[in-house]
């Protein structure tokens, strides 16, 4: 019954949409275009690129439902809201007077303006009916013909048929007969300038126009761009696309095309005279860098300068930058041939440094040169402010705190040591209120966390050996040193966390990113392990139940002393005294429990030991990231991420040499802490398809595994995997899914193996509001570690049947710079159930509601 209101609302919404009249604003002599069909040689085709040639497409419909929602919204708008409001206001004799007395004359006027504004909103949000136009239909047929012609079907024929239907609706059918395509038979060149011809012949095999292939106009356009890039990156500073032409001969060639590439000499216009000159390669004679240029000081005199490897640096004040640091960001070199690529790389690198505004690069003829082939390069750099300050504040609520206030700030110092370095120092803190806090005092703000971070970034690879041959400066290398510390009070186990990282980052191409953490240090210390069973209440409930079931065997001092002796219910174990005593007695074989109780108790103790132990992680990792997305508006792209991490190997090698102590598990300790040793692999693949008209289909496949060995038999909590949440399997809350078929019986369930698969179809509802339908699948498991619970372990391919499936839908409001997301996930296949695993409790009452920022993948 809980879902009855939702069902009623859905039915009412459906009836409202169905009742809308799609042709409400279509005149009697007009027809609403409802469908386009294209037939190629009498066979219907669905190619998106062909349909894109049509000037008219039917109103956008909701996928699956086929309802033109935006059209219905548009039809709800009153075409004459001013008149309608005026008529309504004066329909009854005293209505206006009563409203003025009740509100005011000004408020009544605003009421009318609001009515007008609402109708304007409906029109802007909706979509006007697409009225069939014979003229646009004819133009569409002509455009189809041009599209096929540009793709090699020179003898193409097109026609159309308009089918006018009942109720002022119409459909259009387009008919295309491509006939036989034209094939490129031969390619010749006529290049006037000898130097240009020599460069072209060296790269002739790279041509995109290939003999034997079908004629494609797009390929000729791409070839024209290739030639321009080729010449302008081989010294031809003045070369432009307009000097390239292709002549095509199809006379008596039996559907073959003979291509003649023509590249003319450069035109020079001087007064009333025009003449041509051959292209010559240009070279860079000087590179001048002005490090503190602004509009206000452009007339000032230079007061400081320095030279370094062919670069001359100038400053209107004292030079504040090390010459080698600025020179490393410039790819234009004295004595080398002019290249567009060098200018682009310089722009990109200067922007990456983060210490200058967008640079201005200018070329001018060298007045000392008599050959007309030498260029002087002037680079004007405008520094950003030395210091940058940032503050943030947020209010939050989570499963840890009922109410929280967070605050933080950072100080950014640019060019801190004169070598284009950036230093960022940040601090953060939060206070909150929690009913579960381990606080003996009755205070509203009873939990807190404070932390600080420092990051120092260098625009180079900081390494004793020169790495320029392996990672040249064209890969934009960076080195980052970072450190952080944080501490908690009355939050969970009151963790103290210390981190340190020595990181390299470089970019082999615009699509590739490589990251190498040579040193990744993390030390986690739990200050309040006695609070474990207050935090992990599920574990306590199961341990407490076993103690109560064996009440006669358990020391009575382990139970709460303030329990009522007349109460029929048995008292609970006290925390931490009772739980600690019960576990110690169990480890000393003091109890006679059932086999099931033994298994549960061992699992609880194992998990407690793992989550309360201090962690020392000394790791190295490498990440490979490929992203083909060109910009934020690109909706068809691929992302791939691979990461490998190894921890503890160095410490394991030196431990015997330094005779480090061993603990009761025969594992080495460093500073009293057992260091972690494991290998970890993660992969993440994302693919987006642009289906046109704001429709996108996206998938993700994610997998990871971390195997402990040597000095460890489990993975630290901070480096383990979890499932569920707004960016994962959305039918479960974060940390609630798995491991395996165990049913998420613990708080913060985690494991060392993960599989996730996601698919999502996104489409526009109206305006900036989008909707998505999704399916998520995945789970986490324990593998090759010390977890004994068979339900949590992955032992064979048969365990893949424990992959949980959720489905749902979501709303997304696009604010351009970020997206606000609301998803509703339903548990579709739950591996924790023994019998009915599919569609059990598949309703809104048992749904999971997720709020997030930006898309999940």
The answer on pLDDT for 1 being more than 50 is: no
Whether residues 36 and 173 share a domain: the answer is yes
- On whether residue 854 sits in a domain, the answer given is no
Do the Cβ atoms of 832 and 744 come closer than 8 Å? yes
Summarised one tens digit per residue, pLDDT across range 273-315 is 889 999 999 999 999 999 999 988 888 899 999 999 999 999 9
Whether residues 165 and 28 share a domain: the answer is yes
Burial profile 131-151: b = 16 or more Cβ within 10 angstroms, e = fewer: bbeeebbeebbebbbebbbbb
Q: What mean pLDDT, rounded, does the chain reach? A: 91
DSSP 64-81: TT---HHHHHHHHS-S-H
CATH number at residue 331: 3.10.20.310
Whether residues 30 and 142 share a domain: the answer is yes
pLDDT in the model for residue 568: 65
How much is the average pLDDT of 803-832?
93
- On whether residue 496 sits in a domain, the answer given is yes
- On whether residue 792 sits in a domain, the answer given is yes
DSSP 796-828: SGGGGGG-EEEEEEEEEEE-SS-EEEEEEEEEE
How much is the average pLDDT of 87-109?
88
Summarised one tens digit per residue, pLDDT across range 184-228 is 999 999 999 999 999 999 999 999 999 999 999 999 999 999 999
Whether residues 86 and 128 share a domain: the answer is yes
Whether residues 429 and 547 share a domain: the answer is no
The answer on pLDDT for 592 being more than 70 is: yes
Outline where 455-594 has alpha helix (H): 532-535, 537-549, 577-587
CA separation (Å) from 517 to 72, 92, 420, 562, 644? 55, 78, 21, 54, 10
Residue 375's pLDDT band, with cuts at 50, 70 and 90, is very high
Whether residues 165 and 188 share a domain: the answer is no
pLDDT in the model for residue 664: 86
- On whether residue 527 sits in a domain, the answer given is no
d(CA 844, CA 4): 10
Helix (H) or strand (E) holding 351, with range, is helix 340-353
The answer on pLDDT for 564 being more than 90 is: no
Whether residues 26 and 63 share a domain: the answer is yes
- On whether residue 394 sits in a domain, the answer given is no
The answer on pLDDT for 580 being more than 90 is: yes
- On whether residue 14 sits in a domain, the answer given is no
d(CA 341, CA 347): 10
CA 46 to centroid of chain Cα atoms: 31
Whether residues 372 and 497 share a domain: the answer is no
Residue 63's pLDDT band, with cuts at 50, 70 and 90, is confident
Residue 744's pLDDT band, with cuts at 50, 70 and 90, is confident
Whether residues 668 and 562 share a domain: the answer is no
Count of structural domains, the chain = 6
Would the pTM of this model clear 0.75, i.e. be above it?
Answer: yes
Whether residues 245 and 139 share a domain: the answer is no
How much is the average pLDDT of 689-694?
89
- On whether residue 365 sits in a domain, the answer given is yes
pLDDT in the model for residue 285: 97
Per the model's pLDDT, the better-predicted residue between 445 and 780 turns out to be 780
Whether residues 251 and 158 share a domain: the answer is no
Range of the domain at 781: 614-809+826-832
Do the Cβ atoms of 159 and 223 come closer than 8 Å? no
Secondary structure letter of residue 676 according to DSSP: P
Whether residues 608 and 623 share a domain: the answer is no
Across the strands, what pairs with 820? 813, 853
- On whether residue 396 sits in a domain, the answer given is no
To the nearest whole percent, how much of the chain has pLDDT over 90?
75
Q: Which of 612, 645, 676 is the last residue of a domain?
A: 612
Q: Which of 177, 198, 222 is the last residue of a domain?
A: 177
pLDDT in the model for residue 2: 45
Summarised one tens digit per residue, pLDDT across range 800-817 is 999 999 999 999 998 888
Q: Which of 277, 292, 321 is the last residue of a domain?
A: 277
Residue 398's pLDDT band, with cuts at 50, 70 and 90, is low
Show contacts of 793-801: CB within 8 Å, 24+ apart: 793/739, 793/740, 794/740, 794/753, 799/740, 800/755, 801/831
pLDDT in the model for residue 17: 53
d(CA 563, CA 421): 64
Summarised one tens digit per residue, pLDDT across range 489-526 is 877 888 999 999 999 999 999 999 999 999 999 999 99
């Amino acid at each position: 019954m809980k879902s009855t209101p939702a069902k009623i609302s859905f039915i009412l919404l459906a009836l409202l949409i169905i009742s809308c009249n799609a042709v409400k604003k279509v005149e009697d002599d007009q027809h609403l275009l409802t469908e386009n069909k294209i037939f190629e040689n009498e066979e219907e085709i669905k190619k998106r690129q062909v349909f894109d040639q049509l000037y008219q497409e039917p109103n956008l419909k909701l996928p699956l439902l086929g309802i033109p929602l935006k059209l219905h919204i548009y039809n709800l708008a009153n075409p004459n809201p001013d008149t309608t409001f005026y008529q309504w206001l004066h329909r009854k004799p005293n209505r206006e007077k009563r409203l003025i007395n009740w509100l005011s004359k000004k408020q009544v006027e605003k009421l009318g303006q609001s009515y007008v504004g609402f109708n304007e909103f409906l029109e802007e949000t909706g979509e006007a009916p697409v009225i069939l136009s014979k003229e646009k239909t004819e133009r569409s047929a002509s455009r189809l013909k041009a599209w096929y012609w540009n793709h090699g079907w020179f003898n193409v024929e097109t026609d159309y048929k308009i089918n006018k239907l009942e109720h002022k609706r119409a459909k259009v059918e387009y008919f295309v007969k491509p006939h036989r395509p034209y094939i490129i038979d031969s390619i010749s060149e006529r290049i006037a300038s000898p130097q240009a011809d020599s460069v072209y012949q060296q790269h002739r095999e790279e041509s995109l126009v290939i003999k034997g292939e079908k004629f494609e106009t797009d390929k000729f356009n791409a070839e024209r761009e290739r030639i321009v890039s080729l010449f302008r990156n081989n010294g031809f500073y003045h070369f432009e696309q307009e000097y390239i032409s292709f002549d095509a001969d199809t006379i008596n060639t039996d559907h073959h095309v003979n291509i003649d590439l023509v590249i003319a000499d450069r035109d020079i216009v001087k007064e009333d005279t025009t003449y041509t000159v051959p292209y010559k390669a240009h070279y860079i004679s000087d590179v001048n860098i002005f490090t503190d240029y602004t509009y206000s000081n452009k007339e000032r005199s230079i007061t400081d300068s320095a030279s370094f490897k062919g670069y001359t640096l100038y400053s209107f004040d004292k030079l504040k930058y090390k010459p080698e640091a600025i020179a490393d960001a410039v790819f234009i070199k004295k004595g080398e041939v002019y290249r567009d690529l060098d200018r682009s790389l310089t722009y990109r690198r200067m922007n990456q440094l983060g210490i200058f505004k967008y640079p201005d690069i200018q070329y001018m003829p060298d007045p000392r040169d008599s050959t007309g082939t030498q260029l002087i390069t002037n680079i004007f750099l405008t520094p950003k402010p030395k210091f940058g300050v940032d503050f943030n504040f947020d209010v939050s609520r989570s499963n840890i705190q009922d109410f929280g206030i967070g605050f933080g700030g950072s100080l950014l110092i640019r060019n801190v040591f004169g070598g284009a370095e950036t230093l960022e120092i940040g601090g953060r803190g939060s206070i909150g209120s929690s009913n579960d806090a381990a606080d003996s005092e009755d205070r509203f703000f009873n939990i807190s966390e404070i932390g600080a971070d420092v990051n120092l970034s260098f625009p180079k690879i900081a390494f004793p050996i020169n790495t320029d041959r392996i990672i040249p400066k064209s890969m934009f290398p960076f080195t980052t040193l970072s450190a952080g510390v944080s501490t908690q009070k009355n939050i969970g186990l009151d963790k103290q966390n210390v981190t340190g990282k020595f990181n390299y980052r470089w970019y082999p191409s615009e699509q590739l990113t490589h990251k190498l953490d040579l040193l990744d240090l993390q030390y986690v210390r739990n200050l309040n392990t006695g609070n474990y069973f207050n935090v992990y209440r599920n574990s306590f409930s199961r341990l407490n139940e076993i103690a109560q079931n064996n009440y006669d065997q358990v020391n009575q001092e382990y139970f709460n002393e303030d329990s009522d002796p007349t109460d029929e219910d048995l008292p609970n174990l006290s925390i931490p005294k009772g739980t600690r005593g019960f576990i110690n007695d169990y480890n000393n074989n003091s109890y006679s429990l059932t086999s099931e109780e033994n298994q549960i108790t061992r699992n609880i103790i194992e998990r407690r030991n793992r989550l309360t132990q201090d962690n020392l992680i000394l790791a190295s990792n490498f990440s490979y990231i490929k992203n083909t997305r060109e910009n934020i508006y690109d909706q068809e792209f691929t992302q791939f991420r691979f990461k490998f991490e190894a921890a503890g190997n160095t410490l394991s090698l030196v431990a015997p040499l330094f005779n480090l102590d061993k603990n009761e598990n025969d594992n080495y300790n460093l500073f009293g802490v057992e260091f972690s040793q494991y290998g970890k692999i993660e992969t993440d693949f994302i693919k987006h398809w642009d289906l046109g008209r704001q429709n996108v289909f996206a998938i993700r496949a994610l997998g990871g595994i971390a195997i402990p060995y040597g000095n460890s038999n489990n993975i630290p909590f901070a480096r383990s995997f979890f499932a569920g949440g707004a960016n994962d399997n959305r039918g479960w809350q974060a940390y609630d899914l798995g491991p395996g078929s165990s049913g998420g019986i613990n708080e913060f369930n985690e494991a060392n193996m993960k599989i996730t698969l996601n698919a999502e179809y996104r489409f526009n509802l109206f305006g900036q509001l989008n909707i998505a339908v999704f399916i998520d699948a995945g789970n986490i498991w324990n593998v090759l570690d010390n977890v004994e619970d068979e339900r949590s372990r992955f032992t064979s391919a048969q365990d893949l049947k424990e992959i949980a499936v959720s489905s749902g839908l979501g709303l997304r409001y696009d604010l351009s710079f970020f997206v606000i997301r609301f998803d509703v996930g339903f548990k579709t296949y739950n591996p924790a159930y023994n019998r009915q695993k599919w569609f059990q409790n598949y309703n809104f009452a048992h749904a999971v509601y997720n709020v997030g920022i930006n898309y999940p993948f």
